Structure 1
Amino acid sequence: MDDTVNYSVNLTVQFCFPGNSASCRKEVRSGPGNILLFIVLSCVSVCTVFLNLLVIISISHFKQLHTPTNLLILSLAVADLLVGMFVMPVRIMQLIDSCWYLGETACSVSEMIINHLMTASLCSLILIAVDRYIAVSDPLLYSTRITVSKTSLFIILSWSLSLLYIIFCLYINDHLLSSQIISRCYGECVVSVKNFWVIVDLVLFFVAPCSVILILYSIIFIAARRQAKAVRAVTDASKRHGSANSSETKAAKTLGIVIFVYLACWIPFYISSLSVESVTTSSIVWTVFGWLVYINSSVNPLIYAIFYPWFRASVKFIVTCRIFEFSSSRFNLLPEHF
């Protein structure tokens, strides 16, 4: 009888790679709660891809949207799209199936890709803050100082620098080298990030850049209040000029919301990470607050949909397939100032 019981128990034990004696035990989380979690997170991933794709198509297709500010939004949307397309599915797979089937190199590279996308997003937010600062503080010279070609160059530089930083951390500075990968058995991908590196990342890629962003936006809103008072006190001609400034101010407020949502998603992750000696990708801290960071990529397009009339108008053209009409790229999406 005991032999029968033991035999039935052994049948339930599965391995990630059955032909490898050093393979990890496979744990497939298939309970009702896990199935619901899989469905919810899969929907989040699909919505992230779909919404950011709408932003990318809108700005790329309609010539009226080819402005420096929208190019920066496009850069942010590309990073968010890649998070929904590559990062989220990998994280969902790790939540449902405990095995890692792609090898140790892919384990390191996946973390590099995630860090690169997050760094690129932060660089885009910094450029957005600088762009809005110049637009509000010096609107008369904005069109000459900030051009599409200059903005494109800065976007390329920001993505390149963020990639160089991640490569430096991976291969030179021993940030996420194989020594940081915990492999108790074959088929496991757990990366350990020491508290020291959490602090370095916190200072270099959170506190410092976010302080710059917050300072710039503080100056923007002070200037916006000053302009609003001036508009109420001047002649009709000046009021028309103030209406243009009002458009710039509203754009600054909308993008300010994007930045504050970004901070709200990242602050819990760093605070919780500092409370432990080292963070691993299998920990509850990394999983829960990591997903909060990823979901930020889904929220940005919703902010655009709520506050940007041009985005709502472009989505209508895309959904109804009117973008395939002749000269659809020249449709007017901005009939009046908003």
Structure 2
Amino acid sequence: MDDTVNYSINLTVQFCFPGNSASCRKEVRSGSGNILLFIVLSCVSVCTVFLNLLVIISISHFKQLHTPTNLLILSLAVADLLVGMFVMPVRIMQLIDSCWYLGETACSASLVINGLSVTISLYSLVLIAVDRYIAVSDPLLYSTRITVSKTSLFISLGWSLGLLYMIIYLYFNHLLQSQIISRCYGECVVSVKHSWVIVDLVLFFVAPCSVILILYSIIFIAARRQAKAVRAVTDASKRHGSANSSETKAAKTLGIVIFVYLACWIPYYISSLLIESVTTSSIVVIVFVWIICLNSSVNPLIYAIFYPWFRTSVKFIVTCRIFKFSSSRFNLLPECFSFQAGFS
């Protein structure tokens, strides 16, 4: 009788790779609730890719938008595109099916892309803060100190260092005390020890975010001072002040981007500090990682709300007017001076 019961139980157990004795047990999450979750998250992933592609095409195609600040936004959009194109689909697949079918190499690659996109996002926000600080504090010398070529160099350097950091993070376990867990065949889970969570928190979150917050505090103090000065000067000076006003407006808009970034990341780090050993299979980590991923969907929406040039460029893209001859030289903001196009 006991043998019959055991045999019937074994028949209900599913494995990721039935022909492999070391295969992990398969957990498929079905039901109407899970199907609805799958549909919603899939729509979020598609929208993230679509919206960030609009940002990338806009800045890449229209020469009027080839400014240092917009190049940094372009770098941020590429990082967000990676999240929507690779990170989100993998997360969705892991939510529906516990098995990993793509092998250890693909597991490592997905983790590299995940970490790279996060690292580049923060690096881009730091550069954006520095860019806005110089633009507001020293607007007359901004165009000579911050150029497209210099910005491109810093962006390339940031992507290279970000990739190097992720390779070290994954493969030099004895230095960083992290490891990919392989309890069975068909699993892609990373465990990060508490000591490294603290190191990562200080070096790659607290320190750069402190720099960002300090720079933006200085920016808003300078903006308030300039606003008072503009009200007390002649009409000619007011025209010069309008340029500063444009810089200040851009600083406020990008400040919102940074605030949203911090709001998405702080819950993850708080939970990481409270857990002795963080694993990517933990339900708490899964929820907070999805909150982080949603940040990549929100950024383009912020541009759409606050940047007139983005709304105008989207109209050109959606109506296929970018395929017209010399469309790259279209004036996206006819009512504004050309030097304001990248910031309004």
TM-score greater than 0.5 by the shorter chain: yes
Helix, strand or coil for the counterpart of 1:233?
A: coil
Q: CA deviation at 1:115?
A: 4.7
Q: CA deviation at 1:168?
A: 2.2
Say if 1:167 and 1:179 are closer, same or farther in 2 by CA, change over 3 A. closer
Residues paired across the two proteins, number = 334
Say if 1:179 and 1:236 are closer, same or farther in 2 by CA, change over 3 A. closer
Kept in 1, the 8 Å contact 2:189–2:280? The answer is yes
Say if 1:199 and 1:179 are closer, same or farther in 2 by CA, change over 3 A. closer
User: What is the alpha-carbon distance in structure 2 between the residues aligned to residue 197 and residue 97 of structure 1?
Assistant: 29
User: What is the alpha-carbon distance in structure 2 between the residues aligned to residue 3 and residue 176 of structure 1?
Assistant: 50
Please list the CA deviations of residues 245-275 of structure 1 after superposition, one character each: whole Å capped at 9, or x if unmatched. 1001000000000001000000000001100
Q: CA deviation at 1:197?
A: 0.8
Kept in 1, the 8 Å contact 2:169–2:178? The answer is no
Equivalent residue, structure 1, for 2:330: 331
Please list the CA deviations of residues 288-326 of structure 1 after superposition, one character each: whole Å capped at 9, or x if unmatched. 001000110000000000000000000000001111111
Q: CA deviation at 1:4?
A: 7.4
Kept in 2, the 8 Å contact 1:62–1:330? The answer is yes
Kept in 2, the 8 Å contact 1:76–1:121? The answer is yes
User: What is the alpha-carbon distance in structure 1 between the residues aligned to residue 101 and residue 287 of structure 2?
Assistant: 23
Kept in 1, the 8 Å contact 2:120–2:162? The answer is yes
Please list the CA deviations of residues 37-68 of structure 1 after superposition, one character each: whole Å capped at 9, or x if unmatched. 11111011000000000000000000100000
Give the unaligned 5+ runs of structure 2. Answer: 336-344
Identity percentage of aligned residues: 90
Equivalent residue, structure 2, for 1:86: 86
Q: CA deviation at 1:172?
A: 3.0
Equivalent residue, structure 2, for 1:306: 305
User: What is the alpha-carbon distance in structure 1 between the residues aligned to residue 196 and residue 2 of structure 2?
Assistant: 51
Q: CA deviation at 1:170?
A: 2.5
Say if 1:2 and 1:169 are closer, same or farther in 2 by CA, change over 3 A. closer
Kept in 2, the 8 Å contact 1:55–1:77? The answer is yes
Q: CA deviation at 1:15?
A: 1.1
Please list the CA deviations of residues 104-137 of structure 1 after superposition, one character each: whole Å capped at 9, or x if unmatched. 3332332x42454310111100000000000000
Say if 1:25 and 1:171 are closer, same or farther in 2 by CA, change over 3 A. closer
Kept in 1, the 8 Å contact 2:68–2:146? The answer is yes
User: What is the alpha-carbon distance in structure 1 between the residues aligned to residue 286 and residue 297 of structure 2?
Assistant: 17
Give the unaligned 5+ runs of structure 1. Answer: none
Kept in 2, the 8 Å contact 1:176–1:193? The answer is no
User: What is the alpha-carbon distance in structure 1 between the residues aligned to residue 329 and residue 175 of structure 2?
Assistant: 47
Say if 1:171 and 1:11 are closer, same or farther in 2 by CA, change over 3 A. closer
User: What is the alpha-carbon distance in structure 2 between the residues aligned to residue 203 and residue 178 of structure 1?
Assistant: 16
User: What is the alpha-carbon distance in structure 1 between the residues aligned to residue 176 and residue 202 of structure 2?
Assistant: 21
Equivalent residue, structure 2, for 1:318: 317
| C-alpha RMSD of matched pairs (Å) | 1.8
Say if 1:176 and 1:183 are closer, same or farther in 2 by CA, change over 3 A. farther
Please list the CA deviations of residues 179-227 of structure 1 after superposition, one character each: whole Å capped at 9, or x if unmatched. 7222222111221110111101100010000000000000000000000
User: What is the alpha-carbon distance in structure 2 between the residues aligned to residue 11 and residue 39 of structure 1?
Assistant: 31
Kept in 2, the 8 Å contact 1:265–1:293? The answer is yes
Say if 1:22 and 1:177 are closer, same or farther in 2 by CA, change over 3 A. farther
Q: CA deviation at 1:178?
A: 10
User: What is the alpha-carbon distance in structure 1 between the residues aligned to residue 177 and residue 28 of structure 2?
Assistant: 26
Q: CA deviation at 1:177?
A: 8.6
Decide which moves more: 23-32 or 202-211: 23-32
Kept in 2, the 8 Å contact 1:45–1:85? The answer is yes
Helix, strand or coil for the counterpart of 1:274?
A: helix
Say if 1:243 and 1:26 are closer, same or farther in 2 by CA, change over 3 A. same
Please list the CA deviations of residues 71-125 of structure 1 after superposition, one character each: whole Å capped at 9, or x if unmatched. 0000000000011000110111011001011223332332x42454310111100
What is the TM-score when the length of structure 2 is the normalising length?
A: 0.93
Kept in 1, the 8 Å contact 2:75–2:124? The answer is yes
Helix, strand or coil for the counterpart of 2:278?
A: strand
Say if 1:176 and 1:32 are closer, same or farther in 2 by CA, change over 3 A. farther
